[in-house]
Amino acid sequence: MWENHLNVELDCCEMNGQSFQPLKPWLDFPDQVRLLQSRGMKVNDSVRAEKYLRRIGYYRLSGYFHAFRQWDDTHKILSDRFMEGSNFESVLSLYLFDKKLRLSALDALERIETAVRVDIVHCLGEADPMAHKNPTHLHGNFTKKINKKIGKTEYQAWLERFEELEARAKKRNLSLYHHNMQKYGCLPIWAAGCLWDFGTMSWLFSGMKYSDKNLIAQKYGAVNGDVFSGWLNGLNEIRNISAHHDRLWNANIERSASPIQKDSYWRQLDAKRPFFYFCIMQEMLRVLCPNSQWADRFDAVLQEFPADVKSSKVSLTRFGWFENYHEWDLWKK
């Protein structure tokens, strides 16, 4: 069997005339534990470690191993060797902390997504029950300007995405789809909005007229609609990371929003780090749910960060957090 794995590696070394590194061989779970130990990872309980590898998977945990790996000064890369004192329990604690962090994000984003969807639907629906299918109610750049990368307007691309969601709703036999199609022959925007995911919703928001975007943005304390659109893009990335169970605590947010200059606390935040977006969640939840206990629950999650880990790479500063954030009015109880 081991020889067969070697053959797979050799077969994968070249593809379309391009050379690649050989694939790593398949390892059973006990061998995965031994591999970690051979690289310097302390495993106090092999049976427990194997149980979590079976449940979570070596590859998913490897993202958390990353922060414990040694730096190879000679080759200027991360070594496969772990830093002295690295412990499987610390890796597991970091993984479980990140899981709770993702759940905290989804808890807030469910309410934010629902509310912003209502804002968009209510605003556009006042002008036309079919505003999402009528480009005159959207901004000209969104509906007329060709995006050279995709060869069509952003609105055309958005409409294609929405039609995919319509087709999925039809296939799933959703009652809201069939009720409206049988009764009206179309989906008015208040029904159509129920099919949007966070990305589709934020995409349409970006194409609204400035006056409409600004009206919604001001509700949540954003300077203008374009700034709020950046908030939604960043929140959508946080949502996708969380929903797909990817690593969040030290993620680099690619579609980052513009820095916020409201006060000294906002100014010290990095818009590419996740904590910036948790602050935006709190800003929005204070408008939507003034009596929410979400901030307390989020703070309780932060208290579970594995502080015993002796690695500069395992720190809440990688999350974008700063120590005196409790002094900030945004987070005061």
Domain ranges of the chain: 2-86, 95-327
pLDDT, position 256:
84
User: What are the structure tokens assigned to 312, written together?
Assistant: 């500069």
In this prediction the pTM is: 0.91
Report pLDDT digits (tens) over 252-305: 999 889 989 889 999 999 999 999 999 999 999 999 999 999 999 999 999 999
- pLDDT-based confidence at 15, cuts 50/70/90? low
Report pLDDT digits (tens) over 220-246: 999 999 999 999 999 999 999 999 999
pLDDT, position 11:
52
What mean pLDDT do residues 167-177 have?
92
**Bridge partners of residue 72, in order along the sequence:** 77
Q: What are phi and psi of 161, to 5 degrees?
A: -65, -45
**Bridge partners of residue 154, in order along the sequence:** none
Residues in the chain: 333
What SS3 string covers the chain?
Answer: CHHHHHHHHHHCCEECCEECCCCCCCCCHHHHHHHHHHCCCECCCHHHHHHHHHHHCHHHHHHHHHHHEEEECCCCEEEEEECCCCEHHHHHHHHHHHHHHHHHHHHHHHHHHHHHHHHHHHHHHHHCCCHHHCHHHECHHHHHCEECCCCEEHHHHHHHHHHHHHHHHHHCCCHHHHHHHHHCCCCCHHHHHHHCCHHHHHHHHHCECHHHHHHHHHHCCCCCHHHHHHHHHHHHHHHHHHHCCCCCCCCCCCCCCCCCCCCHHHHCCCCCCHHHHHHHHHHHHHHHCCCCCHHHHHHHHHCCCCCCCCCCCCCHHHHCCCHHHHHCCCCCC
Predicted confidence (pLDDT) at residue 172 exceeds the cutoff of 60: yes
Sign of the alpha-carbon dihedral angle for 162, 164, 170, 173: negative
pLDDT, position 13:
55
Predicted confidence (pLDDT) at residue 248 exceeds the cutoff of 60: yes
Predicted confidence (pLDDT) at residue 7 exceeds the cutoff of 50: no
Report pLDDT digits (tens) over 188-215: 999 999 999 999 999 999 999 999 999 9
